[in-house]
Structure 1
Amino acid sequence: MTLLLSMAAFALASSISPGPVNLVALSAGARYGLRASLWHVTGATLGFTLLLLAMGLGLQQLLAQWPPLKTLLHGAGVAFLLYMAYGLARDDGRLDSGKAQRAPGLLSGAAMQWLNPKAWLASLAGIGAFAANGELSLVGQFAALYFVICYLSIACWAYAGAFLRQYLEQPRRMRLFNRGLALLLVASALYLLLW
């Protein structure tokens, strides 16, 4: 039971803390509402769970054997964060703009996790701490537990965004909100470059 509690605490700490996927969930909740943003939440949760399973089933050994691959993934993650920040900073802030906009969906949520440096670090650290030997039952338990906690954590961010929606209906406020999120993403990218 102690191992499961440790796994749950790790999953909660790494899932609920601010990161690119959570910031997009917050923004999606504010822009599109909770129901529409739950597709992103589901995709991000599935994407992370698959990444965690891949790490547990041997991807971590591949990364250890090929350091350039790890460097390439790190660079792609930083570039992705900057791309997302640029998109948020450029947003006009209108919730009801004439162009048909779609909330981030299932596939984009899943893909985000595979490009998210925080997800890679969390899955590497989690597997290293709880299932380093690749024992299938431990990897499966950790992934199942992480799935539930990850979903609820990202959904909390989407809910917070949906709650803030009433305060962000003015385009100026939404632009400021999105630019603040963009700055957080740039700060994350800079941190990763220096790390």
Structure 2
Amino acid sequence: MTPDILLALALFAGATLFTPGPNNLMLMASGANFGLRRTLPHLAGVAFGFPLMIVPVGLGVMQLFDLWPTAYTLLTVFSVAYILWLAWKIAHAAPPPEAQTDARPLGFFQAAGFQWVNPKAWSMALGAITLYAAERDLSSTLWIAGVFAALGTLSALAWVTLGTAARRLMADLRRLRVFNRVMAVLLIASMLPVLL
């Protein structure tokens, strides 16, 4: 991969990773509800789960959508239903004092698995492969995964830190409930650009 293509890829990755989307809003909500330390597995699952998704997408899964476009429609329907369920869970999350025994943030494997049903992750992966690995070769696909892993870690950390900072303002349980409901609405709204 040439330096100019690599720079273009980094700009594409940065623009897609740092903008609001399901992952970032869930990381921010987790930071606000659980703090940085407890959210680290969720953060790592997002930061490394997406790059791990890029590899099979670039090396073959994308061909499934070329051969059977209905598969992408089915994936979109399932993804939207799952994100609506997650938004409901966030909106109805019990504040930390009420939920210390049973509430917990997403774990590494849950967050990594979430990438496969995240509409924004699919658009990012398909866009990156189309633009920067048109030949769908292993070398280009690994470069894309590496750039997304590096910038994805920074993005995830920034969003969790933002949520953790908001946590200090959420000492009042009413404000935390409002925050969770706003995050749920934003999570639903974050799907609109991808779906339209």
TM-score by length of 1: 0.94
- Partner of residue 68, structure 2: 66
1:26-105 correspondence runs (5 A): 26-92=28-94, 94-97=95-98, 98-105=100-107
* Aligned amino acid, residue 96 of structure 1: P
Q: 1:174 aligns with which of 160, 173, 176?
A: 176
Q: Is the 8 A contact 1:78 1:192 kept in 2?
A: no
Is residue 10 of structure 2 the alignment partner of residue 15 of structure 1?
Answer: no
Q: Is the 8 A contact 1:40 1:105 kept in 2?
A: yes
Q: For residues 192 and 8 of structure 2, what CA distance do their matches in structure 1 show?
A: 30
Q: Is the 8 A contact 1:25 1:41 kept in 2?
A: yes
Give the number of equivalent residue pairs: 193
| SS of corresponding position for 1:169 | coil
Q: Is the 8 A contact 1:95 1:169 kept in 2?
A: no
Q: For residues 10 and 190 of structure 1, what CA distance do their matches in structure 2 show?
A: 20
Q: 2:121 aligns with which of 115, 119, 122?
A: 119
| SS of corresponding position for 1:110 | helix
- Partner of residue 2, structure 1: 4
| Structure 1 position 190, deviation (Å) | 5.1
Unmatched runs of 5 consecutive residues or more in structure 2: none
| Structure 1 position 172, deviation (Å) | 0.4
Q: For residues 58 and 189 of structure 2, what CA distance do their matches in structure 1 show?
A: 30
| SS of corresponding position for 1:7 | helix
Q: For residues 141 and 20 of structure 2, what CA distance do their matches in structure 1 show?
A: 25
1:142-153 correspondence runs (5 A): 142-153=144-155
Unmatched runs of 5 consecutive residues or more in structure 1: none
| SS of corresponding position for 1:102 | coil
Q: For residues 88 and 104 of structure 2, what CA distance do their matches in structure 1 show?
A: 18
Q: For residues 128 and 178 of structure 1, what CA distance do their matches in structure 2 show?
A: 36
| SS of corresponding position for 1:96 | helix
Q: Is the 8 A contact 2:27 2:160 kept in 1?
A: yes
- Partner of residue 185, structure 2: 183
Q: For residues 27 and 75 of structure 1, what CA distance do their matches in structure 2 show?
A: 24
Is residue 138 of structure 2 the alignment partner of residue 136 of structure 1?
Answer: yes
TM-score by length of 2: 0.93
* Aligned amino acid, residue 70 of structure 2: P
CA deviations 1:52-82 (Å, max 9, x no partner) are: 1112101111111111211110001111111
Q: For residues 193 and 158 of structure 2, what CA distance do their matches in structure 1 show?
A: 25
Distance 1:158 1:110, change over 3 A: same
| Structure 1 position 192, deviation (Å) | 5.0
